Each structure stands twice: as structure tokens, then as C-alpha cells.
Amino acid sequence: MKAWKFEDNINTDLITPGRYNMTTDETQLGKIAFIEYRPEFSKNVKKGDYIIAGKNFGCGSSREHAPVALKAAGVSAVIAKSFARIFFRNCINVGLPIFICNQTELIDDGDIIQTNINENIIVNETKKISIPILSPPEFIQKIMLSGGLIEFLRRDSYV
């Protein structure tokens, strides 16, 4: 699916501006992702598309509206060089897959890509190359595999 490329330090005010995230409705939030910063994203993003970014993606406010909006917009995963820590936790908790990739410069806006989690790679079909991704530590994978924190705590607990 299509890659939407973003730069370093994308903050949660850019993803879901404070004035628009006055709702908990996921469908509604899905429509406001990047509404002012990159309006063509909110109009044209398709189910399964990827966000590719540089360093410190998701910095700023702890608002969970940001990952919920991206997930509801159809984003299948966010792949970045690094994530701000609250955003990283929020993605795990709400079930939006995220991957760390040190070579996101090998993916351009509009490239067609696929992730292969079993082999820890992204396949850039446009450029015909494979790019390694880092899988999260075991403790986090356990929560991710449960489908997020809520499912994890419904079935399981910390101890």
C-alpha cells in the first residue's frame, strides 16, 4: 500500500489539532488526521496505507486522539526512525502497529510498500528493495499480541 512520507518531529498537535479533537468518536477522529497540516492526507488516505517518518514521531501532547485518528483513518502502521515515548505507548495500547526503521529515507512519498513482520522487513515494491525494521521487545509484544492494553488486561494482568 501507499507510503505517506513525513519529516522529523511530527507532533500530536499536527496530527489532531486541539480544536478538532473534541470527540471520542473514532470515525469522526479518523476524518481529522492531519486535517490542517496535510489536508490531502485526510481526504485521500486509503485503508492499509502507511505513514513513514523521521525522528521523534508523535512528540508533544499525550492525547490518544492522535493514534486513534490515524488508526481510524485506515493507517496500517507507522514506521519511523524513532517515536516520542507517550505516543509509542499509546499506539501499543490502542492497537496501531508501529515499527522502528533506521532507513526511512529509502522510502519516498507515494512508494508502494508492504511490511513482512515475520522477517522484520519492509518491502519497497516501487524501488524493489527490502529494508530492515526492529521488532519491539518481548514484554511489549505480549501486549501488542493481545490486541492492545485493554484486551491484555481483560484476559491477563501484570502478575
Partner 1 sequence: MSQTITEKILAHVSNKKEVFPGDYVVSDIDWIMFHDSTGPLTIKGFEDIGKRICNKEKIVTFFDHFYPAPNIEAAKLHQISRRFIDLQGLNNHHTDGICHQILAEKYVKPGNVVVGADSHTCTLGALGSFATGLGSTDIAGVMATGKCWFKVPDNMKIHYTNKLKKGVYAKDVILKTAGLIGSEGADYFAIEFSGDYIKSSSISERLTMCNMAVELGAKNGIIEPDEKTLEFTGNQGLFFKSDYNASYEKEFSIDVSQFGPQIACPNSVDNVKPVEEVAGTPIDQAFIGTCTNGRLDDIEIVARILKSYKVKQSTRLIVIPASMNVYLRAFQKGYIQIISSAGGIISSPSCGPCIGRHNGVLADGEVCISTQNRNFNGRMGSPKSMIYLSSPASAAASAITGEITDPRDYL
Contact residue for partner 1 among 77, 84, 96, 98 (CB under 8 A): 84
Q: Candidates 43, 44, 85, 108: give the one binding partner 1 (CB under 8 A).
A: 85
Q: Please, what is the minimum distance in Å from the beta carbon of residue 55 to partner 1?
A: 6
Residue whose C-alpha cell is 490542517 = 36
Q: Which is nearer to partner 1, 118 or 137 (CB)?
A: 137
The reply to whether 103 sits near partner 1 by the rule CB under 8 A is no
Find the binder of partner 1 among 38, 42, 93, 106 (CB under 8 A): 93
Choose the stretch contacting partner 1; rule: CB under 8 A; options: 21-29, 42-50, 100-108, 112-120.
21-29
Using the rule CB under 8 A, give the single segment among 62-70, 97-105, 112-120, 124-132 that binds partner 1. 62-70
Binding of partner 1 at residue 105 (CB under 8 A)? Answer: no
Interface region with partner 1, contact rule CB under 8 A, candidates 65-73, 106-114, 117-125, 126-134: 65-73
Separation between Cα atoms, residue 70 and residue 4, nearest integer Å: 12
Beta bridge partners of 121: 116, 132
Contacts 24+ apart (CB under 8 A), 13-18: 13/60, 13/61, 15/58, 15/66, 15/69, 15/70, 16/63, 16/65, 16/66, 16/69, 18/61, 18/63
**136 contacts: CB under 8 Å, gap ≥ 6:** 92, 98, 144
